[in-house]
């Protein structure tokens, strides 16, 4: 298996997104994982809802496109979009270069922060990637 970066302090979805909770607040930052950006290849386009829009856990909230593929982005949690990463409009390659940093996607205020307990920890996500990465 290739060596993908999976930071211990984040939680993850089966759709290869990561979620970082901001302290004890109900605000989270969401992005795609190193495994996801690697599978997608060169990211060339990201499409988001506007700030203020609501997301529903498990529903598509945006689109990410590589040179060859179009993929839906699924909301890991229900909530309201507080901010989108506007830098990605001109520099979508940030998702490839720094998926856990400058390549983040959106900030959410989640409606029920307890939902976050349903996501995977790093160990579970590592196992999920290992299963799929042949």
Partner 1 sequence: MSGGGGAESSAPSGENAESEALRRTALHANHVRLGGRLVPFAGYEMPVQYTSIKEEHLAVRERAGLFDVSHMGQIQLRGDGAVAYLESLLTCNVASLGVGRARYGLMLNDQGGCIDDVMLTRVADDTYFLCVNASNVEKCWTWIQDHSVPKVKLENRSQATSLLALQGPAARGILERLHGGDTPLPKRFRVASCEIAGARVLASGTGYTGSPGFEIYVLNGEAPRLFDALLEEGQVDGLIPTGLGARDTLRLDAALPLYGHELDDTTSPVEAGLERFMKPLESGFFGSEAVAARADDTDPRRLVGLEMVGRGIARAEYEIAYAGNVVGVVTSGAPSPTLGKSVALGYVPRSLSDVGQTLTILIRNKEVEACVVETPFK
**Which residues of the chain form contacts with partner 1 (CB under 8 A)?**
15-17, 32, 36, 40-42, 44-45, 47, 63-74, 89
**Shortest distance, position 22 Cβ to partner 1, whole Å:** 23
Nearer to partner 1, 67 or 112 (CB): 67
Nearer to partner 1, 96 or 110 (CB): 96
**Shortest distance, position 24 Cβ to partner 1, whole Å:** 29
Residue 132 CB partners (closer than 8 Å, separation 6+): none
CA distance 40 to 71: 9
Nearer to partner 1, 38 or 54 (CB): 38
Residue ranges in 1-134 assigned as alpha helix (H): 34-40, 87-90, 94-97, 122-132
Structure tokens of 112? 């029920």
**Shortest distance, position 100 Cβ to partner 1, whole Å:** 15
Question: Contact, 88 vs 106, CB < 8 A?
Answer: no
Nearer to partner 1, 57 or 113 (CB): 57
**Shortest distance, position 81 Cβ to partner 1, whole Å:** 18
CA distance 73 to 59: 8
């Amino acid at each position: 298996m290739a060596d993908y970066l999976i930071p211990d302090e984040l939680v993850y979805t089966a759709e290869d997104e990561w979620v970082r909770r901001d302290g004890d607040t109900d605000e989270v930052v969401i992005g795609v994982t190193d495994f996801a950006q690697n599978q997608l290849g060169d990211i060339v386009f990201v499409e988001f809802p506007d700030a203020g829009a609501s997301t529903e856990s498990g529903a598509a909230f945006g689109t990410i496109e590589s040179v060859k593929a179009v993929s839906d982005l699924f909301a890991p949690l229900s909530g309201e979009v507080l901010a989108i990463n506007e830098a990605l409009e001109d520099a979508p390659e940030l998702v490839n270069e720094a998926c856990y940093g400058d390549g983040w996607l959106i900030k959410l205020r989640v409606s029920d922060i307890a939902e976050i307990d349903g996501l995977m920890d790093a160990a579970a996500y590592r196992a999920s990637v290992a299963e799929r990465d042949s």
